[in-house]
A and B are shown apart, each in its own frame.
Chain A
Amino acid sequence: MNASVQTPLYAEGELPRYARHIVLREIGGPGQARLKRARVLVVGAGGLGAPVLMYLAAAGVGHITLVDDDTVSLSNLQRQVVHSEDRLGMEKVHSACHTLRGLNPYVRLTPIAQRLDAETAAALVQGQDLVIDAVDNLETRHLLNAACVAAGVPLLSGAISQWEGQMTLYDPARGAPCLACLFPVIPDTAAQQTCTAAGVVGALPGIVGSMMAAEAIKHLTGAGLSLHGRLMLLDVLWGENRTIAVTRRPGCPVCGHVHGDTA
């Protein structure tokens, strides 16, 4: 451990790969160092997780923990571009790590091939600078939200269906709403449109997931204006996009205690 104090932040030969970040006024050397020191948890290595993981690894985020219990299937490859035909049947987290190591061998990766439950969520969000929700079901989204609220860790959340996406940064510890503030009611199963049941255009998770990666980079480096308190809605089919100001719900059963609300 003593040696780590002297260990340089970057490996020999690593820094030039971040040259285009370093020339950006909003990131620069200090921002790149923040990315290198950052710990990010990405839950879901599917459609949204693919571009999130690839761009964050390529960007030089220091330590990425990725969680998914699924394996790569043929119908994934239409949009989950972190995986490939020769890795069909492989656990998605291991398939993704294969691609990520090819993009940037200097990123520390912790693959966890299991479904998130309350206990593992609580343990995994601890110590993260940012948690990214790229999950495919509302139950796990709410479970992850509760764990992030309890730990005071911001949660960048994206969701897609068919031709549309939505995205925001949940962060009740710093004044933004949590998932349960914004969507207190989970619709019945019939109204929940999973990609499996409702379909999804292949490029959509590429668009929304890439925007999530950009939001993550902004959040970690402090660049620009984040989606803190703003929900972005994108309709790729009709070109209707809106950014909606969202606020905490007083008395929210999940995050109300953070603000001393009475239930």
Chain B
Amino acid sequence: MQTLDILYFAWLRERVAAPREIIATAAATVADLVTELAARSPGHAAAFADHAAIRVALDQHLADLAAPLSGVREVAFFPPMTGG
């Protein structure tokens, strides 16, 4: 198990209803973590329902779903934003 700081931006934050949360997880990859997070609440499920467009940063570096979480402290999820 490791402890991760999870940050949510834009409509992810709105659906999860929190800008950040700290969780203990045994997830090995970002994809595993997304599956685990989506099961936490209906809001989380809505946030990750269509995750194809969502990007993730591990310790402030862009990563992909297959990236391992070993040694990571912060995971930030963010979608492309539209408005101008």
Contact = CB atoms under 8 A, between A and B. Distances in A.
Consensus secondary structure, chain A interface:
mixed
A239 to B, nearest CB: 8
B60 A186 contact: no
B14 A188 contact: no
A200 interface: yes
Contact of A136 (B55, B78, B83): B83
A185 B79 CA distance: 10
Nearest to A244: B57
A194 B83 CA distance: 5
Nearest to A199: B83
Interface in B7-64: 7, 9-11, 13-14, 19-20, 50, 52-53, 55, 57, 60-62
Interface string A229-250: 0010101011010111111000
Contacts of B11: 161, 191, 193, 198
A231 B82 CA distance: 15
Interface in A160-202: 160-162, 164-166, 182-183, 185-188, 191-195, 198, 200
Contacts of B57: 242, 244
Contact of B81 (A160, A185, A237, A245): A160
A231 B56 CA distance: 12
Contact of B19 (A46, A133, A238): A238
A232 B60 CA distance: 10
A119 B52 CA distance: 29
B61 A245 contact: yes
Interface string A141-172: 00000000000000000111110111000000
A112 interface: no
Nearest to B20: A240
B78 A233 contact: yes
A78 interface: no
B79 A187 contact: yes
B84 A242 contact: no
A135 interface: yes
Interface string A209-246: 00000000000000000000001010101101011111
A185 B82 contact: no
B62 A235 contact: no
29 contacts: A44-B84, A48-B84, A49-B84, A136-B82, A137-B82, A138-B80, A159-B84, A161-B81, A162-B10, A164-B10, A165-B81, A166-B10, A182-B62, A185-B53, A186-B80, A187-B50, A187-B52, A187-B79, A188-B50, A195-B83, A195-B84, A231-B62, A233-B76, A235-B13, A238-B19, A242-B7, A242-B60, A242-B76, A247-B62
Given A44-B84, A49-B84, 16 more contacts: A48-B84, A160-B81, A161-B10, A161-B11, A162-B10, A162-B14, A182-B62, A182-B80, A185-B53, A193-B10, A198-B11, A200-B83, A240-B20, A242-B76, A244-B61, A244-B62
Q: What 8 A-B pairs are tightest by C-beta distance, nearest first? A: A159-B81, A187-B53, A238-B19, A183-B80, A136-B84, A195-B83, A244-B57, A185-B53
